[in-house]
Chain A
Amino acid sequence: MCRLFCITSDQPLSPMTAVKALDVMREGHDGSGVGLFLTDLAGPFEELKGAPILSGIFTNDGWMRLDHFMMNIGFIAKYRSSIKVSKSPPPGVPRRDIYLIRAYEYPEDWEGLSESEIRHRLMLIRLQLRQMGEEKEDMIVYSFWPDVIVLKEIGDPMTVAEYLQLDRKDLHARTILAQGRQNTNYAINLYACHPFFIQGVATMTNGENTAFVPIKEFLMSRGFPGYIGYNSDSEVFTHILHYALNQLGLGIDAYKHIITPLQDQDLADHPNGPFLKQLKHSCRRLIIDGPNCVIGCLPDKTCFMVQDRKKLRPGVVGGRPGRYAFSSEICGLDAAIPDRDKSKDFQPMHLDTAIVAPDRLEVKVCSQMDSLDLTL
């Protein structure tokens, strides 16, 4: 089983805060990989808000191909955070040419495009780069989005973090998602490492998704170009959330009603019963059935945690106003926010969605039995 950690703070934090929290939970994961999602960035990237940031791993050839490609479509590099690594990586970590985090300026002809068109085009560029990289195995592209950095590598999280010098100022961020382990259920592949990202939505998951194949088939048949990949069975959790928010126009409080709907009896007594019944029927193909804890971050930097219908995975949320964390284990929380009121730690159960809004003032728990905030 892997371990998850997410911290959101009004003061910028080093990614090491999250990696250290993973490290104290090391008994629960095999330390085979690490994935980091950073948003609400501080440092130099904060001043570039709005500029899309490309994160990925490149070979020297891939890097050249990238530059050529980006130039051709009119993107101009604005800022680059270079990670200079030693020639000999520590044991268990593969040798790479370039870990790239680079902010771009939009092409001139993008001026005047609507927000949604820009979002769509950014995604298409990421997908195109990914495809180019897969053809020649010279690029791995995790994200291309404003105010988002994603880093993934194979190896023990702490070793990788030290090797990549993640403690640097330009990587400080206010919201950090971290996961420690390569995927186990399908082939080892960097794209299979959590957190997964699509258009501002990021999630990571604990546990196997037993309904993976039918859900994957449903998402892939939506005709939306971003619903591809699926090197990991957990990637569908991110895409279901994206689908709920973007295609269905629902809020985070409806996410759990899609992936783990209520049973008939509860629906009959629910204030939004008829709506939820219809949602359950039409989204039946998105019901997850495995033991899963999902931690994620929305485009507005709201962080959340949900559990599967039977609550088979660990997960706790706690903190103090200004700094909250979601963690697989309490020791992870202790490592990151020792000065909190532990009596207020909360372990979401089978009906709960625990939410920390961008103001980071409190943990809001919304139960599936509550009425929904529907703007229908």
Chain B
Amino acid sequence: MFANGFIGPDTLSVKDLPWQIHWDKDKCTLCGRCTAVCPVHAIELGVHRKRLVQTPPVGELARKHDLANVFQVFYGIRQKTDPAHACVGCAMCSLVCPNGSIIPCRSDEADKLKFHINRGGYPRRRGGRRNVPEQPPGGILDRIKFTRISMLTDPALDAGRHEFELRTLLGRVLPPEESLRLYREQGWVPPVREIYPLIIGSMSFGALSPAMWEGLQMGVAYLNEELGIPVRICTGEGGCPPRLLRSRFLKYVILQIASGYFGWDEIIHALPEMKEDPCAVEIKYGQGAKPGDGGLLMWYKVNKLIAAIRGVPTGVSLPSPPTHQTKYSIEEAVAKMIQSMYMAWGFRVPVYPKISGTSTALAVLNNLTRNPYAAGLAIDGEDGGTGAAYNVSMDHMGHPIASNIRDCYLNLVKVGQQNEIPLFAGGGVGKYGNLAANAAALIMLGASGVQIGKYMMQAAAGCVGSESDRCNICNIGLCPKGITAQDPRLYRRLDPEKVAERVVDVFLAFDTELKKIVAPLGRSTSLPIGMSDALAINDRSAAERLQIKYVV
């Protein structure tokens, strides 16, 4: 500490930060790329003064020259300790360093930053995912095993060669008696879509960069049109680009309407010019990452394009209300909102609500069972991600998806309506990389399909975020990979064509893995929804809670 230095209650040292930047002077070329790329300006050029102790040769000591102290200057980097510039651990500096001379390392103890990241009285806001690392070996979904393997009682099926039809239904499926009666009488039957059980969940235009959105859409179009895999993608609450609304690709898109109604002016105006109906309409009542809180697009990201599509001024934060302001009860919500959305497309498009995982999910579901228009229920568990939310909501609010979906499915079984209202599960699917195993576990617990968001960002675009608070700055538009940035200088780092290629890779690999799971269970012609006799776990209380087998 210099004599004229200052220590305040919130003065932090590098050691107090969650990430320390290790820099190797010997390897550094002083190119400056690290300081240029750092999204939060955590590092800056450092001019350091250094004393060298130079001992003169023995023979010259007698001359009494004062050569022992030599003061030199050297150049390098300096890590800032101001909370606004604390390193987020994204490691873009390592990525661009030509010599591998810099890397952020996680502190060896709990950081002190968390006590000071509320300057001005604003609690921490961020993007990303829940920062609650599970104990190894992963979350509950990762620990579920598939134990009912067909062998001698039955030949196992061949994942590589047999015929498979791994589709699910999105839309209200009527009981067989009712369905056939309506067929005879030529009555209205709710629209049903046959889709792939892995859906790209709602990530809005605005939350994602234009490059990321374009890449996802191109990937989905390729999967559908070239490979015949009926993958669907949900828009999230941010509207939909006008050209997409008027294109044939709209049929692969689930339009989302949420409490801010952003982008719906544009959608309503495009209705007469639509060539195709959208796949479905998702009404968002809640989000797993921040249950009970509305969507949030912070002002950093509201540029001219986003503002135009959403129908708002530029440069203002866009917090959606936590609820749909015109609705006061679920009956009203179902009657008014679901039915009026049906009416907009002539009762040809399924409309379903999405809620966050909650212990009140059963009440919602029970209400939906009584309404023939409800086309499904999507439940987003606590491990869902977001572009922006209060840290406290992300880390502490919400309900795990596994038991929530299981309770809902078993409740439907009790009333005899299993799969009539398809349940879609989301939130943390594949968060430890085991996408197919997690998805299959949820399907066998009772989900008709699975929604993924963060997994696509990681696998298709190289998102560096993690459950252990790495990066997670999606909210301020500084995504170092250009996935959630709205600044062209950042999002031009992301090539939409390459994203599309990765989307296709992800789905093809997932498809193979899913077959490798269901084929040995003897399933191929129908998705094994609710096939809980195939599941087991080595945790007695989890087994009891989920009503699956306990194995050790």
Contact = CB atoms under 8 A, between A and B. Distances in A.
B176 A248 contact: yes
Contacts of A364: none
A241 to B, nearest CB: 14
A291 B169 CA distance: 24
B176 A217 contact: no
> In terms of DSSP, what is the predominant structure of the interface of chain B?
loop
Contact of A287 (B180, B413, B418, B526): B526
Interface string B233-256: 000000000000000000000000
Interface string B169-202: 1000111111110011000010010100000000
A210 B148 CA distance: 9
Contacts of A283: 176
A323 to B, nearest CB: 33
B359 interface: no
Given A282-B174, A285-B419, A289-B523, A210 B180 contact: no
B532 A221 contact: no
Nearest to B157: A310
Interface in B405-445: 413-419
A223 interface: yes
Contact of B177 (A210, A247, A278): A247
A212 B534 CA distance: 11
Given A214-B418, A278-B183, A248 B177 contact: yes
B169 A207 contact: no
Given A221-B418, A282-B173, A310-B162, A290 B154 contact: yes
Contacts of A260: 525
A284 interface: yes
Contacts of A309: 163, 524-525
A187 interface: no
Contact of A210 (B163, B418, B521): B521
A136 interface: no
A211 B524 CA distance: 10
B385 to A, nearest CB: 31
Given A214-B530, A222-B416, A282 B525 contact: no
Nearest to A214: B530
Interface of A is mostly: loop
Nearest to A274: B183
Interface string B510-552: 0000000000011111101111110000000000000000000
B173 A281 contact: yes
B418 A285 contact: yes
Interface residues of A, number: 39
A137 to B, nearest CB: 27
A261 B530 CA distance: 19
B530 A213 contact: yes
> Which residue, A185, A243, A289, has most C-beta atoms of chain B within 10 A?
A289
B263 to A, nearest CB: 31
B531 A214 contact: yes
A376 interface: yes
Nearest to A309: B525
B56 to A, nearest CB: 87
A376 B184 contact: yes
B148 to A, nearest CB: 8
B155 interface: yes
Instruction: Report the contact-size class of chain B (Cβ under 8 Å from the partner).
Output: 35 or more
A310 B163 contact: yes
A356 B148 CA distance: 37
A247 B176 contact: yes
B317 interface: no
A207 to B, nearest CB: 6
A110 interface: no
Given A284-B169, A289-B522, A312-B155, A212 B533 contact: yes
Contacts of A250: 180
A248 B526 CA distance: 21
Given A290-B522, A312-B155, A214 B528 contact: yes
A279 interface: yes
Contact of A282 (B176, B524, B533): B176
B107 interface: no
Given A213-B533, A287-B525, A290-B522, A207 B175 contact: no
Nearest to A184: B153
B99 interface: no
B180 to A, nearest CB: 6
A71 to B, nearest CB: 37
Contacts of A221: 413-418
B155 A211 contact: no
A323 B167 CA distance: 43
Nearest to A292: B154
Contacts of B529: 214
A275 interface: yes
B11 interface: no
Nearest to B532: A213
B276 interface: no
A208 interface: yes
Contacts of B177: 247-248
11 contacts: A208-B150, A210-B523, A213-B533, A243-B176, A247-B177, A248-B176, A248-B180, A279-B176, A284-B173, A285-B418, A310-B157
Given A210-B154, A248-B180, A278-B179, 17 more contacts: A208-B154, A208-B522, A213-B532, A214-B530, A218-B418, A221-B413, A221-B418, A247-B177, A264-B194, A281-B173, A281-B192, A282-B173, A282-B176, A284-B526, A309-B524, A309-B525, A376-B183
6 closest Cβ pairs, A-B complex: A221-B416, A210-B522, A282-B179, A287-B526, A208-B154, A213-B533
